[in-house]
Amino acid sequence: MRFPLRLTATTTRYIASKRLRRVEKFPLVMMLEPLHACNLTCTGCGRIREYRSTITQKLTVEQCLTAADECGAPIVSICGGEPTIYPELSQLMDELRARDRHVYLCTHGMFIRKRLHEWKPSSSFFINVHLDGLEQTHDLIVERQGVFREAIEGIKAAKAAGFLVCTNTTIYKQTDLSEIARLYDLLETLGVDGYMVTPAYSYAAVQKKEIFMSRDEIKSKFRAATDLLGRYNMMTSPIYLEFLRGERELTCTAWGNPTYNPRGWKGPCYLMTDTHHTTFREFMENTPWERYGRGRDPRCEDCMVHVGYEPSAVLGANRQFGDSWKLLTWQLTGRKNATPAATAAAATP
């Protein structure tokens, strides 16, 4: 199986209950940013630039939990900023899991070894490490030497301790796909459980525009990557990959991955900011969804990122006959390196 059974069962049940109640728009993954501070200045990161004036602010655990309750998404992706420098991270993760949420901790990996002893392996917890290439490339992108090595040491320690680990790779115009294959080969030897990819998005705040791709460039890059990605345990859905290769159209479902941070619910999406809403209800009801997406807002023109389109096949208007079966078989097949510790944790109520 590609994902832990509990994760697949929870999300399937959640989606079915929304469909039965004919809820038209609902969230699937909450992007929770307890803080925007980070010790790195990655080339493609919009957060540290956009939120420069509020970079020292952070949410309390209580604020995070109230937002997670209000949102109700079964999966919470804790990101930022760098969440491993959030002092109350362990308490936050424990509380989320006590609420039956599946947690993805998105990190650059530099402090995994430092904080690992605070966390417990579980089938509802993935450590998701950002890696954009092998050592030289990755350290260049994150603008600091030694980050790749420390992230790799963190992955080794996490796997040895029985944690589920996946990686997230942003594909830029200059990304060398054969290098990504070598990166995945290395990660396979470490027992990494799966891989996510997304094309980069051209944030207004990021100056180096030459690293971003147009839609046509994204499609040809991902068409060229078909064989490569087929060799590994991809956690990026087959329908989203079809979209990235230009084999089908999807419309943006930005409400599927709502973002909450110290300034509120970020509207309309994880990438663009037109306003922040105080409550999740306000975010859902007051965002003029019909004004966003390709052909409606020029800022969306080249956007094909996972936070806008990964949930589209499930939540959006572009569902095709057979999609549900395709997604179910994809989730139930594939390799999962569930370690004994994770399996034991999964069996613990």
In the complex, the residues that contact ligand SF4 under the rule CB under 6 A are 252, 254, 268-269, 271-272, 292-293, 299-300, 303, 305, 307-308
What torsion, rounded to 10 degrees, do the Cα atoms 88, 92, 94, 96 define? Answer: 180
Shortest CB 16 distance to ligand SF4, Å: 25
CB of 303 to ligand SF4, least distance (A): 3
Q: Which is nearer to ligand SF4, 138 or 263 (CB)?
A: 263
Q: Which residue lies nearer to ligand SF4 by CB, 194 or 308?
A: 308
Residue nearest to ligand SF4 (CB): 308
In the numeric block, the tokens 């956007």 are attached to: 303
Residue 301 CB, nearest approach to ligand SF4 (Å): 8
Nearer residue to ligand SF4 within complex by CB, 121 or 293: 293
Residue count of the chain, please give it: 349
Structure tokens that stand for 253 in this block: 């479902």
Nearer of residues 78 and 269 to ligand SF4, judged by Cβ: 269
C-beta of 234 vs 269, nearer to ligand SF4: 269
Q: Which of 54, 32, 21 is nearest to 266 (CA)?
A: 32
Q: How far is the CB of 22 from ligand SF4 (least distance, A)?
A: 24
Q: Are 126 and 166 in contact (CB under 8 A)?
A: yes
User: Please, what is the minimum distance in Å from the beta carbon of residue 257 to ligand SF4?
Assistant: 8
Residue placing its CB nearer to ligand SF4 in the complex, 63 or 275? 275
30 contact partners, CB below 8 Å, separation of at least 6: 67, 68, 71, 73, 75, 76, 77, 257, 258, 259, 260
> What's the min distance (Å) between Cβ of 271 and ligand SF4?
4
Least distance (Å) between residue 131 CB and ligand SF4: 23
Residue with smaller CB distance to ligand SF4, 166 or 307: 307
